Structure 1
Amino acid sequence: MFRKYVPLSLALALVLAVGCHQAPVATPTEWGITVHDAPAASKHPPEALTGPRDVPADSYLPRQLLVRLAEGADAAVALEGFERFGEISLGDRIVGLRIPEGMSLVDAHARLLDRPGVTDVSLNWRQRPSASYVAPNDTLFGSQWAHQVTEAKALWGGADPVKNLDASKVIVAVLDTGLDVTHPEFAQRVVAAADFSVDPSRPSSQMRDTDGHGTHCAGIIGAAGNNATGVAGLAWDVNLMPVKVLGEQGGTDFGILSGFVYALGLDSDGNGLDDDGYRKVLPQGKEDCRTRIISMSLGSSYQGRSPFYDFVFAEARKRGVMVVVASGNDGAEVCAPANSPDCLSVSSTSRYQVGEVIWEWLSGFSNRGDRIDVAAPGGQIYSTVPTYANSTGTTSYATMSGTSMACPYVAGLAALLVAKHDPSNTRLNAAFHDQVRQHIMATSDDLGALGRDDKYGHGRVNVRRAVTSPFPAQVL
């Protein structure tokens, strides 16, 4: 039996945004900070769809809805009277619909929920970036404090260095504002770039990042290391798949979901792409590469769960693909999509340094709650930005702050663990996914209250310990 879900997102002030912005005021404590109490969830009735009091008029597409159809449902019957603008299939189907003239959002929502085979209905929310910018032998490595506190630096100089891990068959998909594919830090390692930000039903292979956010996140994951230039990412030889889902005017849930399915290695009908899709255009020598991690520096102010993200994240887990999501920057409870159960939800830490001494605690902007899995450095993170003009106001390298920066750090660590424990890409299943997830949490540094807590989850990730500690034989 299918439960017909009437999402609170239809009435809440859900405005998804790239997870980084200025921090609210926070109160230091002996082991961290106390951020503001989470605001209560909105209780607006469905009628708010006709004019939500707290939702900007441009925060969603006014004449569109997303519908999830159960596998085998008769789409002609379920969607009669509505024009389709796109479709994604993973067994169940997610269909984008245009509302007929003369029909209100409230009426359309009610009618669709009553149709046979319809399991979920939601607005097609816009997503916008919102970031805070500051214009090994890598020349800027000394500015990368994250590698110090996570002990990644110790590995690179040790007997079992991270640089000897072969991540060349691992793909990390970065769903973001795009990527400067010409940046020297990513040479020979950008694969299958796709832009879903303009028309999700007709993605383009052309790629630019005029915002800079996506390039910054990608550098945290995989900027080249030990090349005497710029910064070092965590996984120096990992392949990066830039999937642009946010453009100059933002993006939509449907665009992000479409990009997510593409990143899994499936087309919009849920078919594998090995024969005639993006794998065919992989560079020579990379035919055996697979998407193993999807990094999403996206957040929202909606504290309810999205059935659409729950659905696609669960499908990723079945395929052994780790989804890492920024928890958000409202100093409040974890919001969608980071509150979905089948992703790693990441909070952010910041540093306070006097001389050689570094204090580290929860960033003032970071969300927290019972869905935080781990924390990672996210305050004042130095990384790559486009070599051409972009909204950071600088080129090549810059600092940003946010859970957006913490998220790709965990994605980079996950790539190292996949490279070490499944170098041939044969363990494409939920069991291996769960092992990686558990290992990242179990090897983290326990900050804050003893044991798991709502600020740091199971702790701030420790790269050295995660890479060198025995891998769990099974998930507990």
Structure 2
Amino acid sequence: MFYPSDVQGPRPVSREPSDHATNQVVITTVPEAANRELPHALNVAAGATAATSFGDNRIDGVLYQLGLRARSFSRVFVPRTDATTLAAMPKDRATMAARMISADYQADEDESGFSRTFKIDFETDVNVAQVCQALSQSTAVSEVRPNYISRILASPSDEFYGFQWGLQAIEAEMGWDIETGHSDLLIAIVDSGIDLQHDDLKDKLVAGEDFVNFQGSLGQRYIPLGDYQDRDFDPDDEDGHGTHCAGIAGASSNNTRGITGVCWGGKILPVRVMFRVWDRFENRETSIGFDTDIMPGIKFAIDSGAHVINLSLGGSNGDAYRPILQAARDRNVCVVAATGNENAGFPPAPSYPAADPNSLAVGAINSALNRASFSNYGLGYAPFVMAPGVEIASTYKDNGYVYLQGTSMATPFVAGLAGLIVSLGLRSGKQLTVDEIYTIIRETATPLGLGKGDRFYGEGLVNVPAALKAAQEKLDG
């Protein structure tokens, strides 16, 4: 990884760092307190004026009593625009800004609370727990929480020059005799962005968005680097992590160059929600993202018509993801998420969104088909599955190729498999439900350890041909 000269050698902090922004909270109001006049963060990035008060004394009054001044209030989620309209819309800034300013929330977005969720940025660091406790007593607020941090779940290894052992481990070649990917399939990579000019990816990319918009305080742990302010329409990848995941799931294949993705056909939607930081606690560069960027990024993927969403990221944010992941399930969108890299069991150490029952959790194995030493485990990840996650060769930023390892790398193998199953449905004119797809992937996985339901290996290693055969039988039945 690249270490900028201006941040080399910082002193690591001696105490456990915060897992949330230290000058922000997120609130969801009761329906009658929703303020439709407040701008989206995207509106602000496009030139709208930020609001410094909420407009309801039941909220503004609490902050006044605490002696706090807000830098801005903004709505977290952008109203839905249907996928057909979105695809046909020019991607210039003026047109997109007009769409965001004029769009109205739909009924299900009001019911789920998306239209009533706001981020409060304070002018200085605050006692987040105290603010949350005070706001939770307000009759205008139905939920309040910190703006939690999620981290990418990969670690760097070596430059790319080897072989893709992972495709052999999941028997991908036999699966490609059944399905290679339908042209209408859309897989969303919600991550650090994607190298938009990569030779192995550019022909498969559709126009995405950059949801990173951090204006606050990172406390003592992180130093922000690169592009971390103002949401825009350029989801290019400064880290390389999202590009690596995109290549595993769906790099251009059978084209005599580069690598082979699990799912050859279809398109990839780049959604940037993570940005680079220097981690003073671990003394290295990595990427992080906040709930208020990640969750609207997931919503954008859903609204854009994604069939599969890859989430190679995780944090300790618990039930915060439940509404947006439920929305994905309601719209029949598969969400595949990494279990995490702490070598921790769940319970009691969950990583979200993988621990949410609306997602399909993925752990990592090595080339000997043993659980990777870092891979999280535990029956609390619902029935989870395993995929290759050590020394995985794939695409990288600056048109490059590298080996990386982590449950981040295992996850897009499964996202690619889900894409192949969806492709069978698109080809037949019949679509399987998310629950049916998750069940097929779990039931056809090759058992490892002590067999199905093993604490360390879950349902086992995903098997591409077995899953596709089961899916085809289900569609034909």
TM-score by length of 2: 0.72
Which of residues 59, 63, 67 is equivalent to 1:79?
A: 59
Q: 1:363: which partner in 2? A: 372
Q: 1:236: which partner in 2? A: 264
Q: Deviation of residue 424 (structure 1)? A: 7.8
Which of residues 317, 326, 330 is equivalent to 1:318?
A: 330
Amino acid in the other structure paired with 2:75: G
Q: 1:226: which partner in 2? A: 254
The answer to whether the Cα contact below 8 Å between 1:190 and 1:242 also exists between their aligned partners in 2 is yes
Give the match's secondary structure for 1:115. coil
Q: Which runs of 4+ in 1 moved over 6 A?
A: 100-103
Q: Which runs of 5+ in 2 are unaligned?
A: 1-12, 36-55, 64-69, 80-108, 215-227, 278-287
1:123 aligns with 2:146: yes
CA distance in 1, matches of 2:185, 2:471: 21
Which of residues 352, 355, 364 is equivalent to 1:339?
A: 355
Q: 1:66: which partner in 2? A: 26
Q: 1:377: which partner in 2? A: 388
The answer to whether the Cα contact below 8 Å between 2:312 and 2:338 also exists between their aligned partners in 1 is yes
Q: 2:17: which partner in 1? A: 56
Give the match's secondary structure for 1:184. coil
The answer to whether the Cα contact below 8 Å between 2:191 and 2:273 also exists between their aligned partners in 1 is yes
CA distance in 1, matches of 2:433, 2:427: 13
The answer to whether the Cα contact below 8 Å between 2:204 and 2:252 also exists between their aligned partners in 1 is no
Specify whether residues 313 and 54 from structure 1 end up closer, same or farther in structure 2 by C-alpha distance, changes over 3 A only: farther
CA distance in 2, matches of 1:97, 1:340: 26
Q: 1:457: which partner in 2? A: 458
1:215 aligns with 2:243: yes
Q: Which runs of 5+ in 1 are unaligned?
A: 1-51, 266-278, 280-289, 352-358, 389-394
Amino acid in the other structure paired with 1:338: A
CA distance in 2, matches of 1:62, 1:193: 29
- Show the 5 A alignment for 1:425-444: 427=431, 432-444=433-445
Which of residues 147, 162, 167 is equivalent to 2:167?
A: 147
The answer to whether the Cα contact below 8 Å between 1:381 and 1:400 also exists between their aligned partners in 2 is yes
Q: Deviation of residue 201 (structure 1)? A: 9.9
Alpha-carbon deviations, 1:340-393, whole Å to 9, x = none? Answer: 110001110111xxxxxxx3111000000111511111111111112x2xxxxx
1:108 aligns with 2:108: no
Give the match's secondary structure for 2:357. coil
Specify whether residues 182 and 310 from structure 1 end up closer, same or farther in structure 2 by C-alpha distance, changes over 3 A only: same
Q: Deviation of residue 211 (structure 1)? A: 1.2
Specify whether residues 362 and 471 from structure 1 end up closer, same or farther in structure 2 by C-alpha distance, changes over 3 A only: same
Specify whether residues 318 and 193 from structure 1 end up closer, same or farther in structure 2 by C-alpha distance, changes over 3 A only: same
Amino acid in the other structure paired with 1:56: P
1:293 aligns with 2:308: yes
Alignment: residue pair count: 370
Alpha-carbon deviations, 1:139-172, whole Å to 9, x = none? Answer: 97x711111111112234xxx3433x42x11111
Q: Deviation of residue 104 (structure 1)? A: 3.5
Specify whether residues 362 and 78 from structure 1 end up closer, same or farther in structure 2 by C-alpha distance, changes over 3 A only: farther
The answer to whether the Cα contact below 8 Å between 2:244 and 2:396 also exists between their aligned partners in 1 is yes
CA distance in 1, matches of 2:131, 2:293: 21
CA distance in 2, matches of 1:113, 1:472: 50
Q: 1:410: which partner in 2? A: 414
The answer to whether the Cα contact below 8 Å between 1:169 and 1:424 also exists between their aligned partners in 2 is no
Q: Deviation of residue 406 (structure 1)? A: 0.6
Q: Deviation of residue 210 (structure 1)? A: 2.0
Specify whether residues 133 and 306 from structure 1 end up closer, same or farther in structure 2 by C-alpha distance, changes over 3 A only: same
CA distance in 2, matches of 1:419, 1:255: 29
Specify whether residues 361 and 189 from structure 1 end up closer, same or farther in structure 2 by C-alpha distance, changes over 3 A only: same
Q: Deviation of residue 178 (structure 1)? A: 0.9
Amino acid in the other structure paired with 2:21: L
Q: 1:162: which partner in 2? A: 179
Amino acid in the other structure paired with 1:447: L
Alpha-carbon deviations, 1:6-56, whole Å to 9, x = none? Answer: xxxxxxxxxxxxxxxxxxxxxxxxxxxxxxxxxxxxxxxxxxxxxx99542
Q: Deviation of residue 128 (structure 1)? A: 4.1
RMSD over aligned Cα atoms: 2.7
Amino acid in the other structure paired with 1:258: P
Which of residues 193, 196, 220 is equivalent to 1:178?
A: 193
Specify whether residues 107 and 312 from structure 1 end up closer, same or farther in structure 2 by C-alpha distance, changes over 3 A only: same
Structure number having the greater helix percentage:
2
Specify whether residues 446 and 103 from structure 1 end up closer, same or farther in structure 2 by C-alpha distance, changes over 3 A only: closer
Specify whether residues 117 and 436 from structure 1 end up closer, same or farther in structure 2 by C-alpha distance, changes over 3 A only: farther
CA distance in 1, matches of 2:157, 2:255: 25
Identify the range of structure 1 (84-93 vs 255-264) with the bigger mean alpha-carbon deviation.
84-93
Specify whether residues 469 and 116 from structure 1 end up closer, same or farther in structure 2 by C-alpha distance, changes over 3 A only: same
Q: 2:45: which partner in 1? A: none
Q: 2:121: which partner in 1? A: 98
The answer to whether the Cα contact below 8 Å between 1:179 and 1:208 also exists between their aligned partners in 2 is yes
CA distance in 2, matches of 1:449, 1:329: 22
The answer to whether the Cα contact below 8 Å between 2:362 and 2:411 also exists between their aligned partners in 1 is yes
